[in-house]
Amino acid sequence: MWISNNDEESTAIWELSKVEDRTAAITSGTILEARLTAAIKEKLYENEEINREMFRETGPLGPFGTKIRLGFMLGIYGMQAYCDLKRITTVRNMFAHQLKAKSFELNELKQHVMNLTLVEKHIFQQGTDSTEIVDRGAWQKFYIPNRDAELADPKRRFLLSVMIISTMLTPTVVQVSAPRLPVPRF
């Protein structure tokens, strides 16, 4: 179900289900951040030097949280995705910065993960009829076997949430951006 932008990303995505929870959270979060960065850049003027300066790790648009807020303000996604992105960042940061965060089963982590909501709207049980799809208002649909069991598992729910947002941010799936800003007059 994942869409990959390059071989390196393909390898990382393939490994997600096989690695420890901490590695899966950090790696999938890194993929998501790269996709969000690319989607934001699609909305901005093209200037390699300024983009590099603004988006470097210590630059004004370097932090993931800043990119999440900017993506919302640019209209790349709505409030539901914004809230899920904030939860995903919280989980990723807990895994990266807290030694006790070893598993998605840790109550603090699990609470954030189980509150991810886009999976409820866009993940369907294989064989779901089209009426339910219309009722949920899902414009992007992902079908999986054992939907309820998958969404009850915190690691799977987290990875499916990241996959949904990453896919929706991929320009080949959906036009992420409106036309670029007009060329300035002065």
Q: Which domains does the chain have, with CATH numbers?
A: 20-168 (1.20.120.330)
As given in the structure block, the two tokens for residue 143 are: 């079908």
Sign of CA dihedral 39, 44, 48, 49: negative
Say how far apart CA 25 and CA 4 lie, in whole Å.
17
| 31 contacts 166 by C-beta, under 8 angstroms | yes
Mean pLDDT, residues 94-118 taken together: 96
* Residue 98 token pair: 């807290």
Q: Are 55 and 37 in contact (CB under 8 A)?
A: yes
178 band by pLDDT with thresholds 50, 70 and 90: low
Contact 47, 39 (CB under 8 A): no
Q: pTM (2 decimals)?
A: 0.85
- Average pLDDT taken over every residue of the chain: 87
The whole-number average pLDDT for the span 80-101 is 97
Per-residue pLDDT band for 142 (boundaries 50, 70, 90) equals confident
Nearest to 6 by CA among 172, 119, 184: 172
The answer to whether 148 and 165 are in contact (CB under 8 A) is no
How far, in whole angstroms, is CA 115 from its chain's centroid? 15
